């Protein structure tokens, strides 16, 4: 619309110039074909002027004079436009439509005028070259809708409109994948964002294939509309794009022309506000007032078609088989039907005929909880009775009650609480027969109308009812759904399992890509609410309007739902009886109690055990808690009370981890995806405490219907409340978003296994080699956790190890970290490791952690001081004793005492020396006398004693007197033996000759 002030001023200048030139040039008089009318901008009084604008300047003269226009608030009704010559509302002609005071965009063969697609540069990219990868990301027209980008780039679809009065904007969209963020917001002409609540800014998720409508009020003036998408994380999975169509804006002052109907639609009467789609097997062109029939003999056309297509020869993918209801003989017939709408030709070369129907087969038995009393259908057992599906219903015996739920394993007809459908990505809804087909022992995906259709199977459970014995339990599982399935695919098929709680928003619980072998999956329901479980199968994610992969199929063999409030009973389970002897009524057990099979009475679980909610009634239903853990009063879970004791040898270490706080948080990163998107992983860890101290991770993008206080408590549908959880955080900077985004919250640990200093517990390893080694004498303390939720990549569930390490250099709160080699906290995606270094992780101080230091004695007093042993590896506990002062003796006393002792010792040594010297002289005298007497005895007659051999000298025969001087020890011994008459010395007499005689 051309009504800006500068444009009108330019037109007025042109008009004046033409009038001045009129007299000089003699141009022809202008006709109505040479100009058109426009309104000037409204003045402060709300009035405006209608002026004529020439289509070709200088072509003619004599333009109409400006006249006063309609009021600025004037507008026409739907189906009319403002005819500017008469300034009156006129009905639109057949083949066109008008919204009166609005505009609509419903044709997307190309980007409409005024719309633009802009990719935001990834400023967080660590490599500048990565910024160029977003240049090809944009919104793509797909005929009847717009398709967003599928990558992690942030792409905005922008449209600016100027409203004369307050209005609104509405559009339809598909948003099935929360891995892609989708927001809609409005700015004014100053690029300031309008006030907008979170539930109008962030779009809610939709079911696969279903369209939702979103409406936002607009203020008068300039409104710049933004539809913005951006990937959260791009893994190996392909992200589902956002689809947008039928954008309608209300609040423009007037429309001076009607819009022609788009191809495939028509309006057959004047004054239409909409165009209707052409019926099946008809088509229409641009601006049609009626639809043209196709030659149905050789052609066909879907509803809303712009052209007719040639019918192909029939093939196997154009028909399917069903089973009729069982008859009185217990037989069913196999019937074959063409897929509707039938588009193929049978009587052409190469066409395949429909197989003959009517083959009789034995009916499968009824599903558990149902019975067949010689009728054609299976009926549910009456309340209080049960059946395995093959026998008549029976009453539950005393002391038991029916186990409510559903168990579907035979598929003759679709159960009454199940629905099947097919959604075409572009627009139309497929025929219901093209959804899922029953096939005896399984139910399988149908053909659909095209390969990228979503084939939907849905079961609705209005609520859950716990067994009577457990009805008073809190914080337990309310039910579980288990199904067995397989997929056989040649293309990029995907099977989704989704959940919608209380009809708020549908979330994908798990998905499987391509071919999957036959397997079972279980999901636990932890809140009592109305829930719809949905299976959606898509053969390919790429746009398609044909069926090439019809043989790609998903099969579900069995589906069982426990504790369904509207369920039937396939067996009976034990219940607790009243204490009254004559009563046979089941009574609820208090929390943490199990049913004693012998007495049928409620019995409390032993201390430090927790009750397994789905276990059979027996003492084995109470499982013991792990090391250094305890159970809450309801025996619903085990937890740590922040205290831990470790004994090694004769040393006992006592830990008190309450100083660290009950919940710790860690945001690691930043990390970058392949295209440079910056993101963080935030972990919330609950180390101590029970139900009231669990960690909470929220999703601030898709959980928009709850308050902030509810989000903090974990009450949102997508909130996770457990021991350890993880969220993906995308910062506001660099992506164009106006706030940090938290999404993809997952549960990492819902079961606490125990605390120990050992590196292994229940098959989970702490792997201390992943962290820097420490030489401290205090061992690391490991907290072990496990998640019971299985995933396609973690068949045994996830596990986590929190290692607490004493580090006196850290604060009391300390620092949480993940292994350097695994920046995401895990190396395999299933086991997560965390290290919490803190002084608060040190043991409690005891008397052995300090020692005594004695001060100097001054003035007869001495100080005793107490200091911590360095390095100090403890916290809290005992305090250092106060300084003590004790009396003591001065240095002068010890000097005098030492001098006296030295003098006494010197006198004693001198006395002993003199005594032994005198004694030694006496012994020498006696020894000399002995020697002299020995020489005299040698003078004897020569013939008897001293014969000299021939040839020997006399000198050689001289006897040698050899004696050994006794040692001091010997002398002392001699003195000691003096009293015994043994005071003598030994003298050895030797001859110098070898043959000399020695007298004995």
Given a cut of 70, whether residue 233 has pLDDT beyond it is no
Q: What is the pLDDT of residue 33?
A: 83
Question: Max Cα separation, the chain?
Answer: 195
Beta bridge partners of 229: 155, 182
| Dist CA 418 CA 532 (whole Å) | 10
Rounded distance between C-alpha atoms, residue 434 and residue 431, angstroms: 6
Structure tokens at 375: 């009728």
Decide if 864 contacts 888 (C-beta within 8 A). Answer: no
Q: In this predicted model, what pLDDT tens digit does every residue of 143-153 receive, in sequence order?
A: 888 989 887 77
CA–CA distance, 654 with 845 (Å, rounded to integer) = 8
How many Å apart are CA 183 and CA 226, to the nearest integer?
A: 8
Burial grade of 835 (CB within 10 A; 0-12, 13-18, 19 or more): buried
Instruction: Give per-residue pLDDT as tens, 695-733.
Output: 988 877 654 444 444 445 545 556 788 899 998 887 766
Write out pLDDT tens, residues 897-911.
Answer: 788 888 889 888 988
* pLDDT at position 989: 44
Residue count (the chain):
1000
- Cα 671–Cα 743–Cα 510 angle in degrees, nearest 5: 105
At residue 934, does pLDDT exceed 80?
Answer: no
pLDDT at 326: 78
**Residue 997 pLDDT greater than 80, yes or no:** no
pLDDT band at 983 (very low <50, low <70, confident <90, very high): very low
Tell me the pLDDT band of 237, cut-offs 50, 70 and 90.
low
- Tell how many helices (H) and how many strands (E) occur in the chain: 6, 70
Q: What's 341's DSSP letter?
A: S
Residue the block writes with tokens 């043994």: 982
Is 437 within 8 Å of 443 (Cβ atoms)?
yes
Could you tell me what percent of the chain has a pLDDT over 70? 81
Give the per-residue pLDDT at 893: 62
CB count within 10 Å of CB 862 equals: 16
> How many other C-beta atoms lie within 10 A of the C-beta of residue 833?
24
Segment of 190-194, 253-257, 270-274 carrying the highest mean pLDDT? 270-274
Residue 404 has pLDDT above 50, yes or no: yes
Burial class (CB in 10 A: 0-12, 13-18, 19+), 254: buried
How many C-beta atoms lie closer than 10 Å to residue 243's C-beta? 22
Burial 173-199 (b: 16+ CB within 10 A, else e): bbbbbbbbbbbbbbbeeeeeeeeeeee
Between 909 and 363, whose confidence is greater?
909
Note the Cα 565 to chain centre separation in Å.
Answer: 30
d(CA 262, CA 260): 6
| Span 589-632, pLDDT tens digits | 888 888 887 778 888 889 889 888 777 777 788 899 999 999 98
Bond before 670 cis per omega within 30 degrees: yes
Q: Give yes or no for residue 234 having a pLDDT over 60.
A: no
Instruction: Look at 237-246, 295-304, 946-955 and tell me which has the smallest mean pLDDT.
Output: 946-955
Q: What is the mean pLDDT of residues 382-386?
A: 88
| Overall average pLDDT of the 200-212 stretch | 80
Q: Which of the pair, 986 or 253, is modelled with greater confidence?
A: 253
Q: What is the mean pLDDT of residues 434-443?
A: 84
Residue (of 178, 231, 148, 139) closest to 677 by Cα position: 231
């Amino acid at each position: 619309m051309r009504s800006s002030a500068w444009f009108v001023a330019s037109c007025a200048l042109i008009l004046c110039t033409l009038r001045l030139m009129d007299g000089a040039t003699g141009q022809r008089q202008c006709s109505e074909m040479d100009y058109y009318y426009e309104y000037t901008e409204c003045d402060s009084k709300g009035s405006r002027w209608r002026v004529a604008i020439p289509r070709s300047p200088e072509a003619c003269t004599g333009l109409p004079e400006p006249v006063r226009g309609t009021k600025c608030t004037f507008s026409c009704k739907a189906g009319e436009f403002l005819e500017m010559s008469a300034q009156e509302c006129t009905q639109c002609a057949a083949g066109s439509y008008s919204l009166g005071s609005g505009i609509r965009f419903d044709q997307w063969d190309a980007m409409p005028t005024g719309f633009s697609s802009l990719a935001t540069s990834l400023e967080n990219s660590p490599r500048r070259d990565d910024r160029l990868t977003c240049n090809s990301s944009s919104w793509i027209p797909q005929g009847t809708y717009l398709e967003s980008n599928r990558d992690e780039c942030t792409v905005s679809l922008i449209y600016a409109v100027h409203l004369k009065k307050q209005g609104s904007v509405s559009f339809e969209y598909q948003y099935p994948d929360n891995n892609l963020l989708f927001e809609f917001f409005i700015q004014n002409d100053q690029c300031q964002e309008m006030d907008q609540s979170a539930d109008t800014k962030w779009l809610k998720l939709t079911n696969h294939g279903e369209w939702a409508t979103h409406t936002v009020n607009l203020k008068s003036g300039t409104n710049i509309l933004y539809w913005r998408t951006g990937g959260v994380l791009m893994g190996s999975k392909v992200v589902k794009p956002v689809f947008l169509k039928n954008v309608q804006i209300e609040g423009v002052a007037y429309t001076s022309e009607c819009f022609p109907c788009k191809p495939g639609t028509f309006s057959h009467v004047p004054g239409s506000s909409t165009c209707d789609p052409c019926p099946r097997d008809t088509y229409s062109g641009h601006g049609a007032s009626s639809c043209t029939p196709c030659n149905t003999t050789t052609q066909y056309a879907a509803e809303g078609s712009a052209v007719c297509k040639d019918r192909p020869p029939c093939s196997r993918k154009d028909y399917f088989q069903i089973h009729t209801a069982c008859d009185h003989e217990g037989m069913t017939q196999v019937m074959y039907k063409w897929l509707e709408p039938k588009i193929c030709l049978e009587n052409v070369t190469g066409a395949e005929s429909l197989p003959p129907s009517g083959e009789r087969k034995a009916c499968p038995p009824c599903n558990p909880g149902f019975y067949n009393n010689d009728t054609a259908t299976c009926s549910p057992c009456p309340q209080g009775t049960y059946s395995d599906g093959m026998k008549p219903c029976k009453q539950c015996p005393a002391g038991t009650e029916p186990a409510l739920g559903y168990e579907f394993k035979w598929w003759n007809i679709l159960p009454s609480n199940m629905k099947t459908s097919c959604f075409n990505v572009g627009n139309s809804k497929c025929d219901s027969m093209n959804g899922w087909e029953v096939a005896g022992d399984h139910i399988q995906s149908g053909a659909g109308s095209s390969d990228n259709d979503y084939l939907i199977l849905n079961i609705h459970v209005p609520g859950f009812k716990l067994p009577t014995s457990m009805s008073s339990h809190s914080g337990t599982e309310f039910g579980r759904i288990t199904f067995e399935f397989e997929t056989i695919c040649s293309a990029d098929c995907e099977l989704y399992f989704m959940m919608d709680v209380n009809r708020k928003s549908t979330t994908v619980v798990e998905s499987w890509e391509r071919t999957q072998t036959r397997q079972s999956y279980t999901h636990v329901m932890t809140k009592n609410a109305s829930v719809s479980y949905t299976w959606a199968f898509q053969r390919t994610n790429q746009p398609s309007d044909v069926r090439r992969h019809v043989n790609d199929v998903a099969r579900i063999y069995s589906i069982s739902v426990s504790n369904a409030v509207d369920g039937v009973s396939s067996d009976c389970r034990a219940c607790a009886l009243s204490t009254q002897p004559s009563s046979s009524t089941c009574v609820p057990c208090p929390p943490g109690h199990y049913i004693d099979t012998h007495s049928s009475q409620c019995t409390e679980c032993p201390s430090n055990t927790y009750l397994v909610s789905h276990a059979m009634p027996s003492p084995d239903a109470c499982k013991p808690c792990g090391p250094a853990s305890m159970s809450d009063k309801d025996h619903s879970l085990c937890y740590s009370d922040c205290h831990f004791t470790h004994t090694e040898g004769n040393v006992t270490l006592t830990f008190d981890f309450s100083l660290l706080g009950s919940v710790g948080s860690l945001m690691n990163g930043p990390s970058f995806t392949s295209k440079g998107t910056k993101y963080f992983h935030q972990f919330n860890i609950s180390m101590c405490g029970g139900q009231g101290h669990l960690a909470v991770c929220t999703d601030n993008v898709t959980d928009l219907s709850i308050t902030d206080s509810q989000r903090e408590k974990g009450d949102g549908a997508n909130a996770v409340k457990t021991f350890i959880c993880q969220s993906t955080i995308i910062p506001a900077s660099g992506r164009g978003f106006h706030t940090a985004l938290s999404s993809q919250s997952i549960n990492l640990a819902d079961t606490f296994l125990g605390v120990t200093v050992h590196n292994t517990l229940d098959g989970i390893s702490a792997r201390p080699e992943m962290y820097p080694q420490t030489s401290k004498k205090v061992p690391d303390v490991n907290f072990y956790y496990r998640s019971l939720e299985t995933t396609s990549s973690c068949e045994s569930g996830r596990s986590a190890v929190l290692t607490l390490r004493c580090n006196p250099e850290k604060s009391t709160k300390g620092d949480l970290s993940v292994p350097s080699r695994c920046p995401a906290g895990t190396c395999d995606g299933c086991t997560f490791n965390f290290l919490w270094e803190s002084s608060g992780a040190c043991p409690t101080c005891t008397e052995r952690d300090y020692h005594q230091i004695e001060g100097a004695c001054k003035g007869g007093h001495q100080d005793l001081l107490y200091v911590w042993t360095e390095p100090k590896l403890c916290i809290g506990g005992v305090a250092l004793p106060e300084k003590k002062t004790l009396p003591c003796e001065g240095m002068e006393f010890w000097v005098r005492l030492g001098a006296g002792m030295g003098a006494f010792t010197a006198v004693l040594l001198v006395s002993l020396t003199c005594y032994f010297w005198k004694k030694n002289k006496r012994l020498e005298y006696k020894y000399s006398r002995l020697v002299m007497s020995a020489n005299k005895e040698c003078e004897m007659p020569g013939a008897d004693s001293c014969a000299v051999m021939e040839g020997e000298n006399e000198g050689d025969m001289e006897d040698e007197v050899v004696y050994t001087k006794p040692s001091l020890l010997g002398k002392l011994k001699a003195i000691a033996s003096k009293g015994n008459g043994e005071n003598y010395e030994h003298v050895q007499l030797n001859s110098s000759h070898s043959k000399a005689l020695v007298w004995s």
